Amino acid sequence: MRTLWILVRHGALVWLSAVSLLASEAPVLVGVARVDVTPELPIRLSGYQSRPAESTQVVAPLHARALAIGTDAEGPVVIVAAEVIAVTAALSDAVVAGVRAKYPAIPRERIAVCATHQHTGPAIAGAIPFMFSRDLPPEEIARIEKFTVRLRDQMIVAALAALADRRPAQLSWAQGRAEFAVNRRLITDGKHTGYKATPGGPVDHALPVLRAVDTDGTVRAVLVNYACHCTTLKGGDNIVHPDWAGDAATRLEAAHAGAVALVTIGCGADSDPQPRGMAEVATHGRTVANEVARLFAGEMRPVGRVTSAAFRQIELPLAREVGREELTARLKGKPNVAYAAGQFLKQLDAGQALPTAVPYPVQAWAFGRDFAMVFLGGEVVADYALRLKRELGVERVWVNAYANHVPCYIPSRQVWKEGGYETDNAMDYYGFPTRLAETTEDTIVGTVHALLPKNFARPELGAAAR
């Protein structure tokens, strides 16, 4: 493929952008699958503490969807996206193992496991371990564990079905925009002072879309990403529902009979949908579906197979050590603080050391030199995607978060300095005794650069952007 490099200006930033001179890439093999993961009832939902009891109502079903790209000879890649609050490392590893049991030639770096992070779905065993700031009854724990096993099995089924479904298709992508994500961090004099919709705060409104079209022109697969919490529904909504991401996927599948539409979430950990409420779920889902339709009607950039894939598990150090005396003092704090402190003290009493670092997965796929897809673990704030796009090219990079493992919130250096929920308070729910180190952002961004092939990440671009 011949490539033309052109200068692109966006405000004060200038970068080189690659434009394909061919009308289309060669067809690639693409397969898709969708499976139902709606839980049996009753089940304890995760995401909010305010629900007094298990859910006994399904308003809309939950699904796991999979997309496979590439031949066995080239090395396929697989994305599995589930409509759940989070995936753990154990769950992702089990899904990977299930895929590799049948396709042993597919390495870890070519399988990505994502969650839509909706807050109206079942708790997942091992995810957000101190979510409820109390011990759940044994029967509730048993139902959560049973659901997690079924979720694991169904995600494997989806991945294997997508691999079995592969046939020639044309891949292309485009980047649109949606504006219902609003920053939720109120900052006063450089410090976090409240959890409130804050227009003008950091947010990533990009809406990238990948499309696979059959040889007869039929849309077979759609992959959409948007950086926003799936929290249109609130704590008082004790119902099973996939929120805006699931609504958007359902609308896209209805618009393209036979197609499967996957939705992944970008770096939207500090962004909430606005407005919120049951009526707004359809509004936001329709916004996504309409923007995808607009992009489909225009020119989309052709892409080929994944030419490079890399995965690295790193350790993100915590900012400091926390001792028994401090934990004992925390027992007098708010319920979430006191409960977490009690659990940490139990660990110490059992002779177990408290964690000093957070295990963290970073994954990157390059589709030639012109396009890359990044997968970051955790609840990642918008600053990460904005920085990566500055350094690697706004029109060349797609960033997924909530991927492979969701160990905690991942604050940027700026959010770290401001403090507040995403930096400090949420760590109690996730089972860590203190915040991450200030170096977290540079460590993660540096790892992304290291995982991308040298012919993609251009050093002169990164230096100019910084």
Give me the average pLDDT of each 10-residue run along the chain (466 residues). 39 39 73 98 97 97 98 96 98 98 98 98 98 98 98 99 98 98 97 94 98 96 98 98 98 98 98 98 98 98 97 98 98 97 98 98 96 98 98 95 98 98 98 98 98 76 40
Q: What is the DSSP string of 412-450?
A: -HHHHHH-SIIIIIHHHHHT-SSPBPTTHHHHHHHHHHH
DSSP 134: S
Phi and psi at residue 160, in whole multiples of 5°? -65, -35
Query: φ, ψ for residue 232 (rounded to 5)?
Result: -60, -40
DSSP string, 51-107: --S-B--BSS--EEEEEEES-TTT--EEEEEESSS---HHHHHHHHHHHHHH-TTS-
Query: For residues 369 and 362, what is the distance between their CA atoms, to the nearest angstrom?
Result: 19
Cβ atoms of 341 and 328 within 8 Å: the answer is yes
Tokens 């590439």 belong to 70
Q: Which two tokens stand for residue 162?
A: 């997508």
Residue 25's pLDDT is 78
Spatial separation of the C-alpha atoms in residues 193 and 187, rounded to whole Å: 6
For residues 288 and 6, is the Cβ–Cβ distance under 8 A? no
| pTM (predicted TM-score) | 0.93
Residue 195 CB partners (closer than 8 Å, separation 6+):
184, 185, 186, 420, 421
Q: What are the distances in angstroms from CA 466 to CA 111, 145, 248, 335, 452?
A: 31, 45, 35, 42, 18
Amino acid at 63: H
Contact 73, 52 (CB under 8 A): no
Identity at 72, one-letter amino acid code: D
Residue 34, classed as helix, strand or coil, is: strand
What are the Cα distances from residue 205, in Å, to 181, 183, 378, 422?
A: 7, 11, 19, 20
Are 437 and 321 contacting, i.e. CB atoms less than 8 angstroms apart?
Answer: no
The C-alpha atoms of residue 49 and residue 52 are separated, in whole angstroms, by: 8
Q: Which helix (DSSP H) or strand (DSSP E) does residue 9 occupy?
A: strand 3-10
- What is the residue-wise DSSP string for 107-120? -GGGEEEEE--BSS
Note the pLDDT of residue 458.
56
In whole angstroms, give the CA distance from residue 333 to residue 432. Answer: 16
* Contacts by 194-199, CB closer than 8 A, 24 or more apart: 195/420, 195/421, 197/272, 197/274
Q: Please, what's the largest Cα pairwise distance for the chain?
A: 69
Write down the pLDDT at residue 457.
Answer: 61
- The pLDDT value recorded for residue 174 is 98
By the 8 A CB rule, do 429 and 130 touch? Answer: yes
